[in-house]
């Protein structure tokens, strides 16, 4: 076990004999390749790159492993930083819907490792985002489990019209 060079958390790093890169498996950043030259340049004790973690995790969730190189990692970091809050909400909701097949299905969210899914900087910001999405009635969660993790379920999942349409009056009508 070693440290992921992007989020600095414990991860698995595997040398790939034939290629000029390493394979990183990280709970935060997903699975990615990193070139040996970049691997040597990034400092294990250096700065974290949360937006880069988000870009890498998104690619990994889509089954599309990124290959980090000296020439692309700064650009990817900037790209991750360019999303506005509503775009981040949408990305997170889309990811939830990819993980569920029906409305109301429960899924586990790991506060300590899943914050990159919403392009957050850390688990504290991620909590704020979950609270906001619950306020907007886009997700629901039943609180924290014995590991202190949120256990959201997703009854509406971005489909606001699922919200009791039969019982709703048209605006202005009695």
Binding site for Zn ion (CB under 5 A): 4, 6-7, 26, 28-29
Q: Which C-beta is closer to Zn ion: that of 47 or that of 169?
A: 47
Q: Which C-beta is closer to Zn ion: that of 26 or that of 96?
A: 26
Q: Smallest distance from the beta carbon of 112 to Zn ion, in angstroms?
A: 12
Q: How many CB atoms lie within 10 A of CB 19?
A: 12
Q: Smallest distance from the beta carbon of 73 to Zn ion, in angstroms?
A: 13
Q: Which C-beta is closer to Zn ion: that of 30 or that of 158?
A: 30
| DSSP for 104-149, written as a single string | T-B----TTT-GGGGT-SSHHHHHHHHHHHHHTTS-EEEEE-TTS-
Q: Smallest distance from the beta carbon of 25 to Zn ion, in angstroms?
A: 9
Q: Which C-beta is closer to Zn ion: that of 7 or that of 93?
A: 7
Sort strands 67-68 and 30-35 into parallel, antiparallel or unpaired. parallel
Q: Smallest distance from the beta carbon of 69 to Zn ion, in angstroms?
A: 17
């Amino acid at each position: 076990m070693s440290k992921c060079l992007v989020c600095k958390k414990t991860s698995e790093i595997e040398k790939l004999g034939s290629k000029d890169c390493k394979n990183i498996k990280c709970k935060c950043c997903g699975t990615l390749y990193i070139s040996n030259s970049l691997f040597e340049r990034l400092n294990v004790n250096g700065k974290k790159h949360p937006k880069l973690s988000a870009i890498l995790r998104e690619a990994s969730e889509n089954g599309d492993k990124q290959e980090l190189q000296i020439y692309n990692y700064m650009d990817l970091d900037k790209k991750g930083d360019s999303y506005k809050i509503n775009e981040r909400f949408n990305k997170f909701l889309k990811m939830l819907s990819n993980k569920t097949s029906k409305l109301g299905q429960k899924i586990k969210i790991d506060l300590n490792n899943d914050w990159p899914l919403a392009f957050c900087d850390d688990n504290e910001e991620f909590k704020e985002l979950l609270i906001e999405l619950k306020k907007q009635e886009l997700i629901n969660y039943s609180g924290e489990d014995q590991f202190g993790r949120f256990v959201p379920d997703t009854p509406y999942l971005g489909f606001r019209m699922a919200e009791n349409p039969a019982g709703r009056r048209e605006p202005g009508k009695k």
